[in-house]
Structure 1
Amino acid sequence: MLQYPQIDPIALQIGPIAVHWYGLMYLIGFALVWLLGRWRIQQGKTDLTLRDLEDLIFYSVLGVVAGGRLGYVLFYKPGDYLANPIEIFYLWQGGMSFHGGLIGVITVLFLFARKRKRTLLEIGDFIAPLIPLGLAAGRLGNFINGELWGRPTDVPWGMVFPQTGDGLVRHPSQLYEMGLEGFVLFALVWWFARKPRPTGQISALFLMGYGIFRFLVEFTREPDEYLGLLAGGLSMGQLLSLPMVLAGVIIFVLSAKKSNH
């Protein structure tokens, strides 16, 4: 068993102002997106400008927050928030959904593409390789907060998360997600995007990769207490990941067929 490193979730406090590690992880994530996007622009991987990238990041922040929050409300706790709708705006209490945030970002990309007279998949192919490292930063924030912990286990690297209050040794599933959805997915999509690909295939690989990795890690992650396991013994995260994989496969196949004509 490994010792869980109890890190104060507040990284810096000046008087009444507290800067939380989780918030810093979001900032680091978007900073990584900017740095990687700037590099891709300089390498001629796109004809988008640095101003376009900065606009995309700014509006994507709004999409992540709005979509992530609404996704959490609709996918995970619709009854609770229907009874207390004002709490939808209590962002400081936590509660964000990756899949909802993804829908928010896709909406932003669609509107951006339409304004620039591009297709959604063209913009998606540029932005997809930039996302995984930002996801890795977010999962590190989850680990520091001691939230989204794993299921009980007897593996040697299991940890006791004090936040659970039950003293059980659990999978550090946040670190699994950081590794798979973050570093491994980044390496895979970044490598694939090195060469010109049919429009849509880079986006499709991201969707398939994230969906598969998230589906697998969910087997080690404790299901949400208020939902438990759902149809087929699967978690909500797994059920939401399956459409991602299916959409990725369809886009990849159709893109390949179109490029061969």
Structure 2
Amino acid sequence: MFPTLQDLLGFGPALDTHSVFVALGVFAALAVFFSEAKRRGFDEDRIIYVVLGALAGGAVFMRLGTWAQHLDPSRNLSLVEQLAHGNASILSGLVGAWLGAHVAKKVMRYKVRTGDLFAPALALGMAIGRFGCLFTENPGSPTGTGWGIVLSPAAAARLHAPAGVPLHPSFVYEIVFHAVAFVVLWTWLRHRAMAPGATFTLYLGAYAVFRFLVEFVRANDVAWLGMSRPQLFLAVSIPLLFARIAWEARRGRYSARHEPHLVKENA
């Protein structure tokens, strides 16, 4: 069970710490998303359904991504149990959000590319939401040095982590990555002349590489060939993402011939 804010601060409401920071991240992401949508002149009525599709797809796939952990189905939770109480996966949540947004756009017959809205919103939301993970989950593997997060015996027992040794603050690494990504996206890339949606591809590619590397200090279970399950997923995803980036670069989608603020109907 996750500790509450009251446990963390010594005062305040007995609210689940992880859920509070996830909610704060979602609200911040929505604020950025709709602010950018208004600036770029998107259809506010239809864009709401795209957001709802992304949220629904992300929420469902976030749970389903960790469902089939065992080849024997009897060892996995039932579908209802998994959706209600299963472990969450950010990576599968991103896939679900992407699918949900595209399904919503197909239903609404909305052909405008929305990646430039999602990129800075997602970066800020992830930076805030990861504080919930930092305060409630195993921070990482031992650093082998004198620096890092040192858990008390009680916290270590709850998190199934070693006590009394410095551990990598892997979630701090991720918070810094997403915070820097948000600054770059918000202050620089969104003003550059690139094709619609290009910034989202670049952000996902950068995060995929970063996440693959940080997994080495996340203390996640090794699944195969010395890699965790997220790394196995990323080992397949990263070449596809970079192939997409190379294809877009060859088509000049990152060049100055595109107008960054113009909303166009794209198939």
Normalised by the length of structure 1, the TM-score is 0.79
State the 1:169 CA deviation: 2.0
Change (3 A) 1:84 1:209: closer
The CA RMSD measured in Å over matched residues stands at 2.8
Change (3 A) 1:201 1:173: same
| Residues 22, 130 of structure 2: 8 Å contact kept | no
For structure 2, list consecutive stretches of 5 or more residues without a partner in the other structure: 8-12, 258-267
Name the counterpart of 2:247.
254
The one-letter amino acid of 1:70's match is L
- In 2, the alpha carbon distance for the partners of 1:80 and 1:140 equals 34
- In 2, the alpha carbon distance for the partners of 1:83 and 1:196 equals 51
State the 1:140 CA deviation: 0.7
Range with bigger deviation, 107-116 or 22-31: 107-116
- The within-5 A match list for 1:199-214 is 199-214=196-211
Change (3 A) 1:47 1:54: closer
1:241 to 234, 237, 242: 234
Deviation digits for residues 101-127 of structure 1 (CA, Å, limit 9, x no counterpart) = 11211111111221343458x122321
Name the counterpart of 1:101.
93
State the 1:150 CA deviation: 0.9
State the 1:220 CA deviation: 1.5
Range with bigger deviation, 82-91 or 159-168: 82-91
Kindly, what percent of the aligned residue pairs are identical? Answer: 25
Name the counterpart of 1:63.
57
For structure 1, list consecutive stretches of 5 or more residues without a partner in the other structure: 1-7
State the 1:259 CA deviation: 4.0
| Residues 208, 244 of structure 1: 8 Å contact kept | no
Name the count of aligned residue pairs. 240
Name the counterpart of 2:261.
none
- In 2, the alpha carbon distance for the partners of 1:88 and 1:79 equals 19
1:193 to 190, 194, 205: 190
State the 1:144 CA deviation: 1.1
1:43 is paired with a residue whose SS is helix
Normalised by the length of structure 2, the TM-score is 0.78
